[in-house]
Structure 1
Amino acid sequence: MTAATFEGEAIIRVRGLRNSFGEQVVHDQLDLDVKRGEILGVVGGSGTGKSVLMRSIIGLQQPDAGSVEVFGDNALDIDEDEAIEIRKRWGVLFQGGALFSTLTVAENVQVPLKEFYPRLDQALLDEIAAYKVVMTGLPPDAGPKYPAELSGGMKKRAGLARSLALDPELLFLDEPTAGLDPIGAAAFDELTLSLQRTLGLTVFLITHDLDSLYAICDRVAVLADRRVIAVGTIEELLALDHPWIQEYFNGPRGRAAVSSAEGAAARAEPQGTPQDMGA
């Protein structure tokens, strides 16, 4: 996709954000727009505050200054009832899945449903949880299992199932492929893209995985120097001369990701018939 595809509504609008911890300033005058319907990758070096930015947007981190609008509403200065209504419209997959270890997968999926819709009967809760489990590629028998009985990849999918429990419009993914082997990471990327297209999601994706950026992201936002220094397609970013951007995308891993993406694109192209090839 091209950047022009997403010239419309900003579903998230961050302006002048400042976050600090004691004397350490993580963000200063940070601006960012996330367009409806896109998968936006968020990258940056260690300590640039990628997760802090996400936590500021979803209300888990109170910034020192700046504004955050989500769905057109001020997410930093609203009463609790308004905040609840906004939270119903997004889902979050934290690093590692962040599952409750004493709850089964199905019970984990039901947590947000019970929080926001406490009058739902158990039969409906069980039905919704079973559907979300299968939707994220887990086997049906994963529902009664506990997190300790799952592989790393299955935990990520269980966390994703919980993040989709409320049928959100907006999905936050924090390093979803971290710790997965290349096959598992690629499968999770494909799942994310499929769900985004099927459900019409907007995805805010924090990642360091170059393969993910090339495979599924429409645009990429780069955090450095305490702010977002650039947002665009990978091709647009590569045209910039910022040293971190060049080192990140043109280093050995970047070149490997390009080769992988080109190979996948070639494999996806329809093959000609014998007649087409002059047989």
Structure 2
Amino acid sequence: MSDMAPGHDSEHIIRVRGVRNAFGEQVVHDGLDLDVRRGEILGVVGGSGTGKSVLMRSIIGLQTPTDGDIQVFGEPTIGREETEAVEVRKRWGVLFQGGALFSTLTVAENVQVPLREFYPGLSQSLLAEIANYKVVMTGLPAEAGPKYPSELSGGMKKRAGLARALALDPELLFLDEPTAGLDPIGAAAFDELTKSLQHSLGLTVFLITHDLDTLHAICDRVAVLADKKVIAVGTIPELLALDHPWIQEYFNGPRGRAAVDSAERAAAGATPHPSPAPAPARPDMR
């Protein structure tokens, strides 16, 4: 009997077994397995071409593997009819690389896109109220709502994309390189925002990143992609105990050591952060 039966394991929100992804003769994944635990921030790392984004796209249904099984919330995601997958897709949000905002829509209109798709009966006033709530929740000023993506900085675009990813009050959040292109201060602020939202909203976060500071600052565990599969999953100290050459080079190289030093300094000098300003009262979508 397969251990991938629906509802088998409530501890794991995502279960991937034996996934194979190939594009013509190029095999990206072969026999890839991965579990993502409920409530954790899982960092996903790997060298260029290891298929980190392909794995995420496979999980959310944008890429169909040539073999294997994937379950999210105990439900299979491969081979399902579109109507069957809708209820599961409502339960996750996705921040793609660069924010992936619609350039002809304002920030508020971008946030409203998933609401209009899944709840077409919502009034315009309620859509506007929810969008404003999500914009403020991600640390943007309310005045950002009427702006177009071209009027935003890189960091603001990421936050606007995050606001859209949170539009449906998801339980699971996918983040693809959320701090790429940000300066160190902006990246650290986004990390802090991610951790704060994960804690306050009870999110599970699947986080693709190259940022070693992010891995040390907010990730509970890290999954390493190499050799066409996930070769290891664990805390950073657990990964450092392994002798795989890519893991050692990645975490013990100059940037890895600098990230460790930075994390240790932050831990030694940590002071309580002031509580963030309260968000406006949450709209009711019922």
Normalised TM-score (structure 1): 0.93
The aligned residue for residue 118 of structure 2 is 116
The percentage of counterpart residues that share the same residue type is 83
The alpha-carbon deviation at position 78 of structure 1 amounts to 2.0
**Compared CA separation, residues 66 and 115, structure 1 to 2 (3 A):** same
Matching residue of 2:138: 136
Partner of 1:186: 188
- Which residue type is aligned with residue 91 of structure 1? G
1: distance between equivalents of 2:210 and 2:48? 10
- Aligned-partner residue type, residue 116 of structure 2: K
Q: What is the CA distance between 1:66 and its match in structure 2?
A: 0.2
Partner of 1:239: 241
Partner residue in 1 for 2:86: 84
Shift of 1:169: 0.1
Instruction: Give 1:61's aligned residue.
Output: 63
1:72-98 Cα shifts (integer Å, max 9, x gaps): 011113222220001000000000000
Q: Distance in 2 between matches of 1:234 and 1:8?
A: 25
Superposed CA deviations along residues 68-125 of structure 1, whole A, max 9, x for unmatched, are: 0000011113222220001000000000000000000000000000000000000000
Q: Deviations over 1:160-182 (max 9, x none)?
A: 00000000000000000000000
Find the aligned partners of 2:196 and 2:55 in 1 and give their Cα distance.
26
> After alignment, is 136-145 or 260-269 more displaced?
260-269
Deviation, structure 1 residue 234 = 0.2
8 Å CA contact 2:224–2:233 kept in 1: the answer is yes
Structure 2 residue corresponding to 1:251, chosen from 232, 241, 253: 253
Gapped runs of 5+ residues in structure 2? 1-8, 273-286
Q: Aligned equivalents of 2:186 and 2:32: distance in 1?
A: 33
Equivalents in 1 of 2:143, 2:271: separation in Å?
36
* Structure 1 ranges of 4+ moved more than 4 A: none
Aligned length: 264
| One-letter code aligned to 1:119 | G
Equivalent position of 2:159 in the other structure: 157
* Secondary structure of 1:47 counterpart: coil
Distance in 2 (CA, whole Å) between partners of 1:61 and 1:78 is 13
Whether contact under 8 Å (2:47, 2:225) holds in the other structure is yes
Distance 2:192 2:84 in 1: 34
Q: 2:228 aligns with which of 226, 229, 234?
A: 226
Alignment partner, residue 172 of structure 1: 174
Calculate the aligned-residue CA RMSD, in Å: 1.0
Q: TM-score, normalised by structure 2?
A: 0.91
Tell me, yes or no, if structure 1 residue 127 matches structure 2 residue 129: yes
The 8 Å contact of residues 10 and 74 in structure 2, kept in 1 or not, is answered as: no
1:61 to partner: Cα distance: 0.2
Distance 2:37 2:46 in 1: 20
Residue type at the aligned position of 1:174: D
1:165 counterpart SS class: coil
Residue aligning to 2:27: 25
Q: In the alignment, what sits opposite 1:203?
A: 205
The correspondence of residues 258-273 of structure 1 with structure 2, limited to 5 A, is 258-268=260-270
Q: Which amino acid aligns with 2:21?
A: N
| Alignment partner, residue 102 of structure 2 | 100
Matches of 2:28 and 2:81 in 1, distance apart? 27
SS of the aligned residue for 1:112 comes to: helix
Q: Report the 3-state secondary structure (helix = DSSP H, G, I; strand = E; otherwise coil) of the residue aligned with 1:268.
A: coil
Q: Give the Cα–Cα distance (whole angstroms) in 1 for the partners of residues 83 and 90 of structure 2.
A: 11
1:213: Cα distance to partner?
A: 0.1
Question: Retained in 1: the 8 A contact 2:18–2:33?
Answer: yes
The aligned counterpart of 2:14 is 12
Mapped to 2, the partners of 1:147 and 1:78 lie a distance apart of 34
Residue 217 of structure 1 corresponds to 219
Counterpart-to-counterpart distance in 2, 1:194 and 1:42: 20
Alpha-carbon separation, structure 2, partners of 1:269 and 1:134: 25
